[in-house]
A and B are shown apart, each in its own frame.
Chain A
Amino acid sequence: DAKTTQPNSMESNEEEPVHLPCNHSTISGTDYIHWYRQLPSQGPEYVIHGLTSNVNNRMASLAIAEDRKSSTLILHRATLRDAAVYYCILRRYGGSQGNLIFGKGTKLSVKP
């Protein structure tokens, strides 16, 4: 599986936008970009995923660079509840396995 690189930690103020970067310079054409987050003392939860185009859902937006070597998860208005570890994960299209390969992620702190 292709590797992703994320900052260890980031800080944000409540109600401000947050941009969480992810580098994946070895991404292949069939790799989907997935984001999960893990709130304290909970299991991970799905946030968003995309292949080439930018994606929006009720939780966040995903901006994917034109060359797909990087992406950014955007939380439009951070809340205290968004404090979590955010994982950027690549999943290969057509694979027979649904395995998610987790890195260490980015720990997001949100200040009131």
Chain B
Amino acid sequence: NAGVTQTPKFQVLKTGQSMTLQCAQDMNHEYMSWYRQDPGMGLRLIHYSVGAGITDQGEVPNGYNVSRSTTEDFPLRLLSAAPSQTSVYFCASSYSAARTGETQYFGPGTRLLVL
């Protein structure tokens, strides 16, 4: 298994540009989520999905959209990038959302710089 993969690894955007951060997992996991991590901080939840076709907002959803058309993929869209969205973005997945003993697997991250 490749686990959780994210592309790109690094991206520079200009203010106002749009882009999609890709996340895929090959473990047949129901639950997927996106976090952002700012320097010196813990991770903050942006959006999450408990299965294909189902998404919900996390702690910091403004400026981001998500969709979940397949079990494997969970892309994160920035519609109009702002410097405040400069951060490292992590995607995570686990088999089920409901079982609290579930291990979450994290991707390697995408480092985004918005100028």
Judge: A and B partners, yes or no: yes
Interchain nearest-CB distance for B85 vs A (Å): 18
Range for the number of chain A residues in contact with chain B: 20 to 34
Q: Is the CB of A104 within 8 A of B108?
A: no
Q: Is the CB of A97 within 8 A of B50?
A: yes
Q: Is the CB of B92 within 8 A of A43?
A: yes
Q: Which of B43, B101, B107 has the most CB of A within 10 A?
A: B43
User: In A72-98, which residues have CB < 8 Å from any B CB?
Assistant: 87, 91-98
Interchain nearest-CB distance for A102 vs B (Å): 3
Complex interface: chain A residues within 8 A of B45 (CB): 99-101
CB of A17 closer than 8 Å to a CB of B: no
Besides A98-B50, A98-B104, 5 other A-B contacts (C-beta < 8 A): A43-B109, A44-B92, A46-B104, A96-B97, A97-B48
Interchain nearest-CB distance for A33 vs B (Å): 10
Complex interface: chain A residues within 8 A of B107 (CB): 43
CB of B44 closer than 8 Å to a CB of A: yes
On A, residues with C-beta under 8 Å from B are: 32, 36, 41-46, 49, 87, 91-105
Q: Is the CB of A99 within 8 A of B103?
A: no
Range for the number of chain B residues in contact with chain A: 20 to 34
Contacts between chains A and B (CB distance < 8 A), count: 69
Q: Is the CB of A98 within 8 A of B90?
A: no
On B, residues with C-beta under 8 Å from A are: 4, 31, 33, 35, 40-45, 48, 50, 56, 58-59, 90, 92, 94, 96-109
Q: Is the CB of B100 within 8 A of A44?
A: no
Interchain nearest-CB distance for B3 vs A (Å): 10
Q: Is the CB of B109 within 8 A of A98?
A: no
Q: Is the CB of B100 within 8 A of A92?
A: yes
Q: Is the CB of A98 within 8 A of B102?
A: yes
Q: Is the CB of A45 within 8 A of B106?
A: yes
Complex interface: chain B residues within 8 A of A46 (CB): 103-105
Q: How far is the CA of A104 from the CA of B41 in the complex (A)?
A: 5
